[in-house]
Amino acid sequence: MIAILHRDDAVLILDKPVGLAVHAGPRGGASLEDHLEALRFGKRHRPQPAHRLDADTAGCLVLGRTKPALAALGRLFATPGAVTKTYWAVVRGAPPDATGVIDAPLLKHSTAREGWRMVVDAKGQAAATAWRVLGRGPGTAWLELTPRTGRTHQLRVHCAHLGCPIQGDERYGGGPGPLHLLARAIRLPLDPAIAATAPVPAHMRKALAACGCAEAG
């Protein structure tokens, strides 16, 4: 069973495991959809995700338990800056400063040989990510990332653009997985406000401990 970080009559927040896709892909395989029936908890309909996380990203995932709740959550996630998302990442190398903002537009690029990927391109959609260094390890750094927009692979591409790709992000220069990216916390400005924090997943503990994270020790 997937761990539940928050549950009320309208909203579920799950601790999504690394490697679990939110939606079933054309090739099949495990996805969150396999667990939705067990997450009904007496509701008439299955809960539905209000946003997306990459399969390789662990942590906070919000679901609406009713159609009105899902619609309200959809409006929140569609409003820039309404939902506060905080991510933790372990990156290769380190940024030049302690804090900063990456403001780099992203464009989807496809080739027959390599498939698709997101690239920094002036023709792309605006994308911005605030970051700060929480700790440093041997050849690595522990970053807190706060996306100000919600583009596909935004954090992964922005970290690579900063010169320090996320560890385990083979597509964008971080070497073989698993991906060291955690949707650490989320805050929903509902009435009352809802907040949840995901624990450090097992595959990130060693790298975070090396960067001085007490929770991972």
Six-digit token string for 104: 């780099």
CA 1 centroid distance within chain? 20
Nearest to 60 by CA among 86, 36, 38, 79: 86
Catalytic positions, please? Answer: 54
89-126 burial string, b = 16+ CB within 10 Å, else e? bbbbebbeeeeeebebbbbeeeeeeeeebbbeeeebee
Q: Cis peptide before 192, with omega less than 30 degrees from 0?
A: yes
